[in-house]
Amino acid sequence: MINYQLDDSGIATLLCDLPGRSQNLGHAEHGAALLAAIAAATQDAAVKAILLTSADPNFAGDFEWLPCDGDAAELFARTMARQRTLRQLECCGKPVACALPGSALGPGLELALAAHYRVAADRPKARLGLPEVRRGRLPGGGGTQRLARLIGIQQALPLLLEGEALAPETALQRGLIHALVPPGSEVPAARAWLLAQTGPVQQPWDSKGYKIPGGAVSSPAVQQLFMLANAMLRAKALDNRLVPQHILSCVYEGLITDIDTGLKTEARYVVHALLAGP
């Protein structure tokens, strides 16, 4: 399920491969194997850089990674285990690149957002997004926290609350990915970036002096945006759908704190949404 290869240049390639399934990430067994491979790569001194990619064009999740069994404590622990591993990935000091051969949706995009560099194949029919809200789910792999910190609250909220998926060119324009290349050259492009790195790398939100693009939660424009979004959600859903409200709360509460606290906030809302239903 996870093809792990370490080459002579010190690049560990983690290739996600689920033959016979329409989605290449997501179910519980594969998720555990992926997290184990990430942990191994980050801790291995022989690994100088990490490359994430997929054998299938659809670098997407089928949303089965967190089965709901009704035990809140276990669900929270399982969610936080995933959060910690992805946090370990982006904080290990080694450059991490993600080569996207096609669509990156749900857990697939959340994994990519934990990489320091994202390069996608220029496939017009491919889509990138977090469509969990359309399935009555809440992004549970840091999606509400990393996306808003990456592209700003104003750009992130429509994607999170409406589940919009972007074409690769639009994703590049909005800052979700760093590069767009011809199909088949995404892995070499990601490797080239990794080989060009000469020291430790950080995510923008871990860098000194980081500011949320477009304004922090406390800025007047963003406060007005939250009030408008909350009013629209209540009018549209008549308070009967908890997930969009939870997503809005995740962004608001999470982005007034550091990323680690924000991820815990997201995990709590994930559990509440799973147990309470849509």
Q: So where are the chain's domains?
A: 2-276
Active site residue 90: no
Fold of 2-276: 2-enoyl-CoA Hydratase; Chain A, domain 1 (3.90.226)
Catalytic annotation, pick one of 90, 110, 186, 266: 110
Q: Could you tell me where the beta strands, DSSP code E, fall in the chain? A: 2-6, 11-16, 49-54, 59-60, 96-100, 104-105, 117-121, 128-129, 165-166, 179-181
**For residue 67, what pLDDT is reported?**
56
Active site residue 29: no
Catalytic annotation, pick one of 132, 162, 164, 253: 132
Q: How many other CB atoms sit within 10 Å of the CB of residue 90?
A: 22
Q: What is the mean pLDDT, run by run of 10 residues, along the chain of 278 residues?
A: 92 81 54 88 97 84 56 89 95 97 94 97 95 88 97 96 95 98 97 95 96 96 94 70 91 97 96 77
For the chain, the C-alpha Rg in angstroms (whole number) is: 18
Instruction: Measure CA 191 to chain center.
Output: 20
**For residue 1, what pLDDT is reported?**
75
**For residue 24, what pLDDT is reported?**
47
Decide: helix, strand or coil at residue 36.
helix
